[in-house]
Structure 1
Amino acid sequence: MPKKLGTCPKALEARERRAEKKKEEKEKKERELEEAYWKDEDKHVNKKLQRKDERDEKRQEQLDKKKEKERLYAQELAEIKAAKGANVKSCHTKLTQAQIASAREALAEQLAALNKKQTKKETEEIQPNVNRMEVEGLEARNVEEAIAQPLVSAVSPNARRNVVKIASRSVPPPPTGETYEKRRELQRKELQQKEEEMRQLFVQRVKEKEQVLKEAEREVSVVLFVSPIVRVCLFVSWYLWIIVGDSCPTGLVALKSR
């Protein structure tokens, strides 16, 4: 028979540890399931408690803000009262001759500074207009003035021609108030003419539509007037056919056969 082997203590310890670990995991799962069950059951209660806590927090915040406003208001009133008291005390206090003299000196300095600024503004030189500056020699602002200038021995003919060319290139003057009014009047007339053309076109279209409507009414009236006459003719011919007999037209015979 084979020899009976003994158990290893390390294997026993490992087996026990595994068993304990499994047991702990099982207990943990059961505990979690139980907590989840009770947590689900208390869901509405938790929501109510949460809403109550939020309301309490908001109420507390409002109270804190109100207290802070009251504190600031009281502080501001105290500062205003203190400032008024200081002003009253300062008004009742007497001034010495030195304080009066220093105040007068400060006022005199301020007045002197203001006078300096005013004199500086008045003494500023106005820059001359370049277009109105007087230059030495001949002057001309257009071609006619340049041609009308007298001949000078010191000025050569080439220089005179150059002066005429430069004067001919001068920029035309800007439009005056009269030309501006004329342009405005022309624009106004053009707008009125366009409006008149649009109005005439609209009137023409309206007349065309009225004519079409009248023609349609005329056609309808003709149809309404003719249809009773046709009915009367058919009735008379039918009546005659009954009385006379063979003298009925073919159309009425077919109508009677139907």
Structure 2
Amino acid sequence: MIIEVDRLDVRYGATRALRDVSFELAEGEVVALIGANGAGKSSLLRALAGLETPRGGTIRLFGQDIGHAPAHEVARKGLRLVAEGRQLFTDLTVGENLWMGGYASPFDREEQQAQLERVFGLFPILREFTGRAAGMLSGGQQQMVAIGRALMGGPRALLLDEPSLGLAPKYVAQILEVICELAATGITVLLAEQNAAAALRAADRGIVLSNGTITHTSSAQELLDDEDVSRHYLGVGTAEDADSVVAPRQLPCALDRLEV
């Protein structure tokens, strides 16, 4: 397993954000993390990335305990987080933002250049905007930069926090397509999304968080067929309605079915 989480507990003072959270992520697997606002999705991603110190439980990356490792060490070990809101250096150019992503990587300059070409292969428009200030791009283009910056470190596991937030449908579809392409190369993706329908459409499995605990963990298809999940998280009333809105991921990704 790439990531193993066992009975994870995260608190902010007296507030318990995560309680006894356990799951595993395999190589090349896409897992959708869904739940209402305040369910603990961002807290979980931040704990995995080394930005929050767990109160209890363990986090293992490639079998190594990283529960108390600082964020830069976690990044160097191959796990990268694309935070909610993109967190770009808006006054720097697109190219400068991307190169910053390789700062904590083990790659030399030549290897980083190869990573940059890989990013341009996934997001061709970024090559055209290399010299443009990141703050001048649209929201969808900025999300491309944020994901590209994370990929500059050559991660084997990628955490995405609300990548579709505020984006036009065409950009959501592009992001989902890239997630599928990354999974096909063996990169593990944990995708936290309010847009549960879109997330499950690109995922192999889903994990549902509620009040800091896991209430459901199953295949994407099973979650789509679950009327309770459909009612509370997909914005539709029945399992039959859910099937008409989304289609589960097939391996390899059925990219032509990723319309949003």
Which structure exhibits the higher relative contact order, with contacts defined as CA atoms closer than 8 Å and separated by 6 or more residues?
2
TM-score, structure 1 normalization: 0.10
Query: Which structure's CA Rg is the greater one?
Result: 1
Structure with higher strand content: 2
